[in-house]
Each structure stands twice: as C-alpha cells, then as structure tokens.
Amino acid sequence: MFLPSYLAWGGNSFLRLSGLPPMLLLLPALGADWLWRQLLKWKGVTASLLLLAATAATGVHNVMTYYLYYAQSQSAFYSYEVPSTEIASYINCFLEHGYVRDDLPPLPAPSGLPRSVCVARDLLHFSETVVFLLQPDPRVHRLAQAPPAAKDEERMLMVVPGSSTSYLQLLPPRRQIQVYLGSKMRDQQRAGPVFQPHTVFVATRPPDLDPVARFEDGISLLDYRLARPDPETLAVRLRWQADRNPEGYYILFVHLLQGGTLISQHDGPPAHDYYPTTHWREGDVVVDVHRLTIPAGFDIARGMLRVGVYRPENLVRLQCILADGSTQDSVLLPVSDGW
C-alpha cells in the first residue's frame, strides 16, 4: 500500500499518497453499506433515488469547490505558487543560474566576488516546487550549518520572519545590506495578510562614496535616489553607512517639502526593522526605502527632502554635523538631484 509513496518520493503530494485511498475509503464504504441496508427496508426504487441524489449532491459540491472556488481563489495561488517560486528565484538570481520570476525585484549586479547563499531549512524544503526549481550547488547552505562568511565574499541570507536574529552574524563584514520582503500569503476567508514566509538579506560590495551628511553616533548618509513607481508615490532610496557601531535604536524620517511646507512624510526603522541600527556594524552600508504619497498638483521638481534620525523614546533628533563644524537636526536635499 505504501510502495507508491516511496517510489514517487519527490513528486506531487497526490502521487506520493496514491497508495492510501483503499485504506481511507474503507471506513466510508462500511458506512455506505450500513446506509444501503437501512434504505433497503424501504422500497428499492426510493432507496436508489435517495442514494443517487446524495451522490450527485456530493459530486456537484466537489466540482464547485475545486474547479470554481479554488480555481479562481488567490489563496491557492499565493499558498502554493508565489512563495515557492520566489524562494527559488531569489537563490537562482543571486547565483546566476536556473529559473527566475519575471517580477522579481532587481538584485545587485555581480561584482566579481564569490557568492554564497544561506537558507533556513523550512524554506529550502518549503515545497516540492522549491526543490524542483533549485539546481544542486555547493554554494547553497542550510542556515544552521553555514560556514562563517569570508571577508571577500558576497552572501544572501533567507530566513523565516520572527526567528532569532543570531543569523545576522553570518553576514560578511563591511558590505552593503539590502532587505527584501517575500510576498505575503493570503487567506480567502479573511481580509489582510496571514504571514510572510521569508525575508531575504543580500550583502554585496559597498559603493565607494563620500557621505552627503554625517550624524551623531557614527551614522552617515551616503546618497539618495528617487523613483516614481506610480503617479501618486515617490520612492526615496537612502544608503546609510555605519562609521562605528551605533549605540542606540533609531528611527529614520523623510519629509517632502515645498516652500518650507510639509507635504508628505514617512518615518520608520531602517530596512523594515529587520536590520535596525542596533545591529549595524562598523563599515555596514544599509539600503533603506521610504514611500511618500504625492498630492495632486504638487510640482515635484521644486520640492526638497528633509532627512534625519531620531530616538523613538523621546523624539529627540540626532544632530547632523556640517562641513564647517556646525550642527542641525536634519539635512535638506533637492528633489531634482535625486533622479
């Protein structure tokens, strides 16, 4: 009975379980036999019609459930396709081989340094789809068995959100670190996301740039870039550098101004709080993206960005140290220079 399960190991679940239906159907068959004997006490035609009606109703219900409801359900797609193909695509894209989704966010281009990937065991075996799409590669390690990162290495970490942050020590030192969030799995019956299966850390060669601004506690702003993903949104990508290990937990803010008037703003910890300032190490360059809502009629070419850092417990801003030695609580950046 279990021989098909063993022979089809690695195939789809229904293939691996093809030996179980005889056993699983035994109990329902006994119940159906008892029901048939009870119905035979009535007229034979009536019993046949009742049993036929029950069978037809069950068949219609199954057809509607599987071929109408689940066929059009985003829940089935998100649960079985998006996470699995994303996990495999991130790994394949970073290592430059195999299947990659067309809508995968762009990863940093290869710099010539050797690369490796460390993946949580639950993600590496998230589904048979992941195993099928990944090519055997000695550069892919389980997170718990990964070797320490070399100084001349670029590395990707793929972890389960909410797990211990001890895995961050596997990131190589003095690298640019960018965090990518996996697509959230949704439940058709309840509004909103259920959970996010994976989070990706990518550590690559950092840029050689002079800071735009230096703040207290060894935090520097290297540069900023702007994008318009849609007419109502301005995406501000900041790159921060740790000149030393910061001592505090800080919130970063971006204000959009016009003529000194605040038009839009976004505050938040760096990298969606997956790589907060308390984990920064000397030499780290951290990519942080803020999305601002642009009101209708706003002339973005005339706008200014006000960027700064503050302590969440008392809202006190870190001072920005200017070239002449003076200080202010933020830095002003022209929108026109960020494209």
Q: What percent of the chain has pLDDT over 90?
A: 53
* Whether residue 286 has pLDDT greater than 90: yes
Compare 300 and 99 and report the one with higher pLDDT. Answer: 99
* Whether residue 147 has pLDDT greater than 60: yes
Structure tokens at 323: 């070239």
Question: What's the mean pLDDT when you consider all of the chain?
Answer: 84
50: Cβ contacts below 8 Å, ≥ 6 apart: 39
Compare 65 and 155 and report the one with higher pLDDT. Answer: 155
Phi-psi region of 96 (alpha: psi -120 to 50; beta: other; left: phi over 0): left
Residue 15: strand, helix, or coil? helix
Nearest-angstrom CA–CA distance, 299 and 259: 11
Domain segments of the chain: what residues? 3-75, 77-204, 213-337
Helices and strands of the chain, counted as H and E runs: 9, 17
* Residues paired with 305 in a beta bridge: 256, 333
* Whether residue 266 has pLDDT greater than 90: yes
Comparing 52-56, 84-88, 155-159, 300-304, the range with the smallest average pLDDT is 52-56
pLDDT of the residue at 236: 97
pLDDT of the residue at 187: 47
> Which CA distances in Å does 209 have to 114, 240, 264, 274?
23, 11, 28, 24
* Residues paired with 264 in a beta bridge: 256
Residue with tokens 């459930």: 65
* Whether residue 76 has pLDDT greater than 70: no
Residue with tokens 């909410």: 162
Phi-psi region of 120 (alpha: psi -120 to 50; beta: other; left: phi over 0): beta
Strands (E), the chain: 115-119, 140-142, 154-159, 176-181, 185-186, 193-195, 199-204, 213-215, 219-230, 233-242, 251-258, 261-268, 285-293, 304-310, 320-321, 327-328, 331-334
Is 265 exposed, middle or buried (CB count within 10 Å of its CB: 0-12, 13-18, 19+)? Answer: middle
Give tens-digit pLDDT for 185-225: 654 444 455 567 899 999 999 999 999 999 999 999 999 99
Dihedral sign of CA atoms 231, 235, 236, 237 in order:
negative
Q: What percent of the chain has pLDDT over 70?
A: 81
DSSP state of 17: T
* Whether residue 57 has pLDDT greater than 90: no
* Whether residue 311 has pLDDT greater than 60: yes
Mean pLDDT, residues 165-169 taken together: 90
Nearest-angstrom CA–CA distance, 87 and 94: 11
* Whether residue 118 has pLDDT greater than 80: yes
Name the fold adopted by 213-337.
Immunoglobulin-like (2.60.40)
Using an 8 Å Cβ cutoff, are 155 and 115 in contact?
yes
Amino acid in the structure at residue 261 = T
pLDDT of the residue at 148: 93
DSSP state of 67: I
Closest CA relative to residue 207, chosen from 224, 188, 190:
224
* Whether residue 33 has pLDDT greater than 90: no
Compare 168 and 52 and report the one with higher pLDDT. Answer: 168
Compare 9 and 93 and report the one with higher pLDDT. Answer: 93
Q: Give the confidence band of 18 by pLDDT, cuts at 50, 70, 90.
A: low
Nearest-angstrom CA–CA distance, 209 and 80: 42
pLDDT of the residue at 20: 62
Compare 43 and 25 and report the one with higher pLDDT. Answer: 25
Comparing 39-43, 48-52, 72-76, 94-98, the range with the smallest average pLDDT is 72-76
* Whether residue 124 has pLDDT greater than 70: yes
Closest CA relative to residue 117, chosen from 159, 83, 75:
159
